[in-house]
Amino acid sequence: MLCSERPSSPSRLRRRPSSAGRRHLRRSAAVLLTAALLWGGGLTSIALLAAASPAAAQSATTAAPTPTSTPVTVPATDVTATTAAEPAATPNIIPGPNSGRAPADAGERGGWLQEALFFLMCGAVLLIGGLIWLDSRRSRRRQGRLGRTA
């Protein structure tokens, strides 16, 4: 043997983990199971939202031919000059309330897909915060800094 280490005996390999080690294994298995469920649920949600999107629905059906349009001519009108008492209308970047239109499709601004995504993200943030809070409580209880209640 070139190494100065002695070979590990079979009894050392078969040694059972301590109770703290078993708790750690159970906790890490629970964390892995929770992570797998979250990833699976997220991927399922994404797949369902993608299947319900208008692009997926449009690719599943045959596209209808687009009608040709004729150019529209605008009649000439008199242009009146604005006076100092009458300011010219300025364009507004932010639209006023109730000045838009209702969404015609689920994927448009204000449609149910956008609202579902918003609530999904809020739920994910709350879930992550709750998991962090639970883990910190467990850690403090193990250290004896948090008294047991009830």
Residue 20's pLDDT band, with cuts at 50, 70 and 90, is: low
Could you give the dihedral angle defined by the CA atoms of residues 85, 91, 97 and 100, in that order, rounded to the nearest 10 degrees? 130
Return the ∠ at Cα 48 (arms to 42 and 54), rounded to 5°.
Answer: 130
pLDDT at 9 over 80: no
Q: Tell me the residue length of the chain.
A: 150
Alpha-carbon distance of 3 to 72, in angstroms, equals: 90
Contacts of 103 (CB under 8 A, 6+ apart): 109, 110, 111
Instruction: Tell me the per-residue pLDDT of 46-102, one tens digit each, with 9 for 90 and over.
Output: 877 777 766 555 555 555 555 566 666 666 665 555 555 666 677 778 878 888 888
pTM > 0.75: no
Question: What is the model's pLDDT at position 47?
Answer: 77
